[in-house]
Structure 1
């Protein structure tokens, strides 16, 4: 088949690689990469590194009529969408001969919308999976073409690790699915949207910690937002990011209270204490928390709990 590939995340590269083994990649469409600044340098995304020089690469700001004409002129058989990050209009979805399919990292209709993997982690699910759908104008509401088995989770996986698992697994079967589509061996199954759930858009404020939550809930938030926006709290009005934390068996008493124990820093929650391993204040380097908090009398210090 002649394929237009829509993807942005590093983890989507596995799918593109497998598609390229048996199909003609007409173009790769990706979100525009962030520009470097004096304070922050961004790595070139893995997908861009892989696709550059191999395929025509498009990073449109908007998917307008001019872009749709470019796609139409390529005369694609199908478009494959893998964590692209933008909504496709019906007119763009319907251009290819076989339409557009999407690999969605959840067992639909559960966790439709923009943050299925984060929601899987935040809800402390013990299983996950992926679904391949025929896209329509709705949000992850298209007919199901393939649904994976459930993959067990340990409760320690971070966002990128689950995304890598699901797209790696989906890359192993994507060519079989395309063959079945071409041979009309798939009977699309409509989703029962009444039994599903819809996820929220994640923003920077989503990462704020409420120390009145349980340690497992805060740890889940840390794992869900590990890539972005990361979790954060405040000490004496200064915002700091928690880059590395771990669960403990130590009982908590006052949520938000900071505890120094054996050269480590722990924070009380509504259940057990959490150990802080790496933190970063805005505009500063990542440091070990003890080197900062050891400068304060913490006997009456309580971190913000809301």
Structure 2
């Protein structure tokens, strides 16, 4: 089958690999343009661009697909199918209708729950017990198309990074299963009940709020690990919490409750396992405290900054 692949982050790479491994002809890979990144702000290609180039697949990185010129270029590929996985651009009708068999999407939730940009983080923040992968035939709506195949997994305390990796592999398997026998998976309309939207993550959401129950704070930590990293501020420096657990504890929310950086919340407390200072490697809290003391009794204010 002649396929156009459309994706950008690490999550999409296993799906691209699946198409190649299964012997399909990948006519081109569409991906987001390189963005400034790192300290030097040099343009950094997406994970999909890097993988496609390694596979000797043509990469296209338009900033939009709405122009007649870009749509004509897409149609000229004469694709049987387009496979989309976390691409990041809206597909206009002309693009959706160009491949002979349309476009299918590898989406990281059990639709209709968590339609939209950040389904993995939103599922963790909401305390969902499970999530999964949905293969969907795309239409002009926001993840509203009929379902071809879905696959459920338990969240079970995973971070967003861990869950993204697991779901990426699951998407690969689901895609291979569907493409091997597409007639076994006729499209089915999405259920009316259970609809939620996964809004794009705002970096401000990663600031820890210790006025909440520790179970909510722990979900913040997991949802924003490894990036952007849930954080609080002490003595003018941001400290990221990348792994933590809920433990018994009491005290004013935001108070450091022991010599190992246990932090009181509205109910219970949070104990970090892995932390990170700006520009430093990940470390255990005890290692952090040896070089950057945060004494027992220090009061972090409810939204993470040092209290007065």
Corresponding residue of 2:120: 117
Which of 275, 280, 283 is the equivalent residue of 2:277? Answer: 280
Do the aligned partners of residues 248 and 106 (structure 1) sit closer, same or farther apart at CA in structure 2, a change above 3 Å counting?
closer
Mean CA deviation greater in 68-77 or 266-275: 266-275
Write the deviation string for residues 282-305 of structure 1: whole angstroms up to 9, x where unpaired.
Answer: xx43574313552x6664633343
- Measured after TM superposition, the shift of residue 86 of structure 1 is 2.0
Q: Does 1:170 align with 2:167?
A: no
Mean CA deviation greater in 285-294 or 197-206: 285-294
Paired with 2:104 and 2:193, the residues of 1 have a C-alpha distance of: 22
Corresponding residue of 1:230: 229
Mean CA deviation greater in 16-25 or 35-44: 35-44
- Measured after TM superposition, the shift of residue 62 of structure 1 is 1.8
Corresponding residue of 1:265: 261
Q: TM-score, normalised by structure 1?
A: 0.87
Q: Does 1:254 align with 2:257?
A: no
Task: Tell me the number of residue pairs that the alignment of Structure 1 and Structure 2 aligns.
Answer: 296
Q: Is the 8 A contact 2:136 2:146 kept in 1?
A: yes
Paired with 1:19 and 1:193, the residues of 2 have a C-alpha distance of: 32
Corresponding residue of 1:99: 102
Structure 2, gaps ≥5 residues long: none
Paired with 1:83 and 1:22, the residues of 2 have a C-alpha distance of: 22
DSSP-derived class of the 1:259 partner: coil
The equivalences for 1:88-167 within 5 A come to 88-148=91-151, 150-155=152-157, 157-167=158-168
Structure 1, gaps ≥5 residues long: none
Paired with 2:291 and 2:85, the residues of 1 have a C-alpha distance of: 42
Q: TM-score, normalised by structure 2?
A: 0.87
Paired with 2:39 and 2:251, the residues of 1 have a C-alpha distance of: 43
- Measured after TM superposition, the shift of residue 103 of structure 1 is 0.9
- Measured after TM superposition, the shift of residue 112 of structure 1 is 0.9
The equivalences for 1:1-306 within 5 A come to 1-20=1-20, 21-36=22-37, 38-39=39-40, 45-53=46-54, 54-65=56-67, 66-148=69-151, 150-155=152-157, 157-181=158-182, 184-236=183-235, 238-261=236-259, 264-276=260-272, 277-281=274-278, 284-286=279-281, 288-291=287-290, 294=293, 299=297, 301-305=299-303
Write the deviation string for residues 196-226 of structure 1: whole angstroms up to 9, x where unpaired.
Answer: 1112121111111111112221111111111
Paired with 2:95 and 2:162, the residues of 1 have a C-alpha distance of: 31
